[in-house]
Amino acid sequence: MNDTPVLDENSIDNGVDDEIYACLNLSEPKSFFLYAGAGSGKTRSLVNAISRVRRDYRRLLQLQGRRVAVITYTNAACDEIKKRLEFDPLVEVSTIHSFAWSLIGGYDADIREWLRTNLATEISELQAAAAKGRPGTKTAIDRERSIASKQRRLARLETIRRFVYSPTGDNKGSDALNHSEVISITSHFLINKAVLRNVLVSSFPVLFIDESQDTNKHLMDAFLAVQQAHHEQFCLGLFGDMMQRIYSDGKVGLDQAIPESWATPVKRMNHRCPQRVIRLINRVRQDVDAQEQKGRTDKPEGIVRLFVLPNAMMNATGTEAEIAKYMAEASADMRWASELGGYKTLILEHHMAARRMGFDGMFAPLHKVERLRTSLIDGQVPGLRLFSNDVLPVVEAMRRNDPFKVAETVRNRSPLLSEKALAAWGGDRSSPLAKAKAAVDLLMCLWGNNANPTFQDVLNSIAETNLFAIPDALQMFVGNSVAEPEITSKSNADGDEEDAAEQDIEFAAWREFLASPFDQIGAYAEYVSGTSSFGTHQGVKGLQFHRVMVIISDDEAKGFLFSYDKLFGAKAKSPTDLKHESTGEETTIDRTRRLFYVTCSRAESSLAIVAYSEQPELVRLQVLKEGWFDDSEVVLLTG
């Protein structure tokens, strides 16, 4: 009789957690990169590994005053992992910004020196651009204001005794660092200061990074350098899937940068999706890597449908509602036809949500600036948080006649009622309160006679009364009139290249943003908070839904980073695509494929893909040729 146990097909990944734990011998640590595709139970493996470290090494770590560190991408993910680990103080779970600040906070002299060098470099670059540009244009004026602002900050450095930073705050004070500075400083210090590397390794012998493919590339390079220098005392554990990299500042080719000495465990199962969805997403990534997932034997077959429509299709919302009814019949699941949110609509490109929700005017200009793009879609741009976190709550409260909410917001966020301001008035509280009320009243006058003020109008009002603190990025625009004609490089007679510099592009983007209606900020705030009816690839990563409708439209997206017609073969590759393809650089199709993979892999039972295209018939023929869908799964709608 054979006593060898038969391995359950759904348990083929059971040994992976043991592989990970074998790397966590604190006497002989070994770093690893865990490939964990969609629905593979990556977080479960992370928690299991830490739980075993807590069990076996708690006493040793406590005696040494050391802990295990975990970096996750969102605050929600932090909270979930902390909960699963029973809020054990032996484990430091934080976002990347929180962790970075925990390393550099207090190194004020070093931070001051970094800022001094960085500001001097930025000023020099702006001055060089100014020397080449035409005086008197708005770009030139913006540039001069930026130079002056940076020079003021540079002059103030010596008066700052201690720098401050909040990972979730607006960081507006003269002593505050912004989010990008914290990441840049931490990366620089880890590479160039042995003392900080030693602090990291001595404090945390094990560092896990969740969603490692989306960790800032400069910081990831720094962590890799620390591991290389301290591999005998330090375990760096990376969890992720390169196919799910969705942020532009993540490290391209991270999986190829992993040293051969590292362990590379792989999770093969997808516990989330039905069989048909798994076959689709395996085919989507087939041309990228050799990773192929297996579905659970107890999962249903599920259904997938691709609906291909012309770009000119009228009443897209109505058409998509009819598609939901079709899916209800095809899947025998009436929740598709429910008006109570029976299915999740996922948008693959943010411009689509912006256009559908009515905030494209304010969103599109800032999205053009690569430096702002990630924080824009996360709702973390300080210049926007002024309007979404400070002004919007006051305006909404005034509109619904809620004086208590107005008072709470102003009391908590206005410099007019700060401790310093109140102390200056002595024991008189009535005067500063009256001043704050007058500032709110002046702000609300902007909406008198059914007016529709711009962000510039609101900014000028706030600056006039000091109702809220103005972020550095907007200081140079205070008092500007956005109605004045702007001279751009395209119209310059002498052909100078004023707009070539990234800083100039950012100036123009802010100016265009400020010219848009303030009332768009409400829809934007709803969108980035995840409370809107639309989900995006960033917002839903790690989440799952029984019924998913993915909306694809290059024409509606108006973007240049993604192209679904190219992915589906309805549009030829551009010369830039061909060049990048030949040199191994990332192409439009690469980015589009990853986003498509992330959204499709959210479905637990059924998936509807709605694709608007210039050439619907060509899309149908191409996806059939590539084997992405069967003929019965493609529905061509013509009107």
How many whole angstroms separate alpha carbon 200 and alpha carbon 548? 42
Long-range contacts: 111-119, Cβ < 8 Å, 24+? 111/163, 111/177, 111/185, 112/157, 112/158, 112/160, 112/163, 114/185, 114/188, 114/189, 115/153, 115/154, 115/157, 115/181, 116/154, 116/157, 118/181, 118/184, 119/150, 119/153, 119/154, 119/157
Asked, colleague to colleague, whether 9-96+192-267 and 275-348+530-636 share their fold, the answer is: yes
pLDDT (0 to 100) of residue 83: 93
How many whole angstroms separate alpha carbon 212 and alpha carbon 239? 6
Q: Which two tokens stand for residue 25?
A: 């011998």
DSSP output for 288-320: T-S---EE-TTS---EEEEEEEETT-S-HHHHH
Q: 3-class SS at 613?
A: strand
pLDDT (0 to 100) of residue 559: 60
**Residue whose pair of structure tokens reads 């699941």 in the numeric block:** 333
Length of the chain: 639
8 Å CB contact between 588 and 562: yes
CB atoms within 10 A of CB 473: 19
Q: Which two tokens stand for residue 423?
A: 């102390």
pLDDT (0 to 100) of residue 486: 38
- Residue 72 bridge partners (DSSP): 95
pLDDT (0 to 100) of residue 558: 65
Domain 275-348+530-636 has CATH 3.40.50: yes
pLDDT (0 to 100) of residue 291: 87
C-alpha pair distances (Å), 194 with each of 190, 209, 222, 602: 7, 21, 12, 43
**CATH class of this structure's domain 9-96+192-267:** alpha beta
451 Cβ contact partners less than 8 Å away, ≥ 6 residues apart? none
pLDDT (0 to 100) of residue 7: 54
How many whole angstroms separate alpha carbon 206 and alpha carbon 235? 5
Q: How far is CA 433 from the centre of its chain?
A: 38
Q: Which two tokens stand for residue 90?
A: 């032996």
pLDDT (0 to 100) of residue 1: 42
pLDDT (0 to 100) of residue 550: 92
8 Å CB contact between 603 and 275: no
Low-confidence ranges of the chain (pLDDT < 50): 1-6, 482-501, 537
How many whole angstroms separate alpha carbon 300 and alpha carbon 142? 59
**Residue type, position 265, single letter:** P
pLDDT (0 to 100) of residue 340: 67
Q: What are the domain boundaries of the chain?
A: 9-96+192-267, 108-180, 275-348+530-636, 360-519
How many whole angstroms separate alpha carbon 595 and alpha carbon 245? 8
Taking the complete model, does pTM exceed 0.95, yes or no? Answer: no
